Amino acid sequence: MTKDIDYKHFLAEILIDEDTLQKRIDELGEEISKDYRGEDLLLICILRGGVMFLTDLMRRINIPHAIDFMAVSSYGVGVRESSGSVRITLDLSTNIKDRHVLLVEDIVDSGHTIASVLEMLETRQPKSLRVCSLLDKASRREAVVPLHYTGFEIENKFVFGYGLDLDEFYRGLPFIGVVDTDKYTPPD
Ligand code: PRP
């Protein structure tokens, strides 16, 4: 049971440490603030993985902005392959028509999740619709998705921490770690 075991048991290595993460988020916040200055910016966090990134990023965006949340179904617990089809499980509480929308994600892997979200939100006629993802597993891409802001491009490693879960736990870790797959067995 993952919840009873210290995360260090499953940690092969720290891929991106806290300092490196935070410095990059500083840069992203600065870039986004510059790009959207004077505009009506709405950040939309895709739950649940994007939540740590959102809360740090919004503290670095020094222009007025609103936030909202949505959740979509894609992976089940322990399943690391995209289903290729997603549906909204928690919808926005905001009308995005004519607003500048920036989607905030923890990771883009196959790209199916964000591609579906973009397609669904485009129909609501935002003024602009862009994506900011902390991590980009570009080598795994199956769907063509434009990433306007990216924190780090990473190799195809099984990562957790800083929003990304291991069986729904350890999302609160302040760094991105690599799972030691010899020690970790996904649940059935
Ligand atoms: C993760 C991540 C992205 C998606 C990326 O979410 O947060 O939304 O997978 O994968 P893709 O590019 O292959 O579609 P997950 O379904 O694990 O849910 P979570 O955010 O609640 O952890």
What is the per-residue pLDDT across 104-155, written as a single tens digit (0 to 9) for each? 999 999 999 999 999 999 999 999 999 999 999 999 999 999 999 999 999 9
The rounded Å distance from CA 52 to ligand 1 centre is: 14
Residue minimizing CA distance to atom 2 of ligand 1: 107
3-state secondary structure of 43: strand
Q: What are 54's two structure tokens?
A: 């959102």
Ordered by start, the domain boundaries in the chain are 18-161
Q: Answer whether 17's CB lies under 8 Å from 181's CB.
A: no
109 Cα distance to chain centroid: 10
Indicate the pairing of strand 159-160 with strand 149-153.
Answer: unpaired
pLDDT band at 186 (very low <50, low <70, confident <90, very high): confident
Q: What are 130's two structure tokens?
A: 């862009």
Q: Answer whether 67's CB lies under 8 Å from 96's CB.
A: no
Question: What is the CATH code of the structural domain delimited by 18-161?
Answer: 3.40.50.2020
| Residue of 45, 47, 74 to mutate, ligand 1, most atoms within 8 A of C-beta | 74
Q: Catalytic amino acids?
A: 109
Q: Answer whether 159's CB lies under 8 Å from 184's CB.
A: no
For the cut 90, the answer to whether the pLDDT of residue 82 exceeds it is no
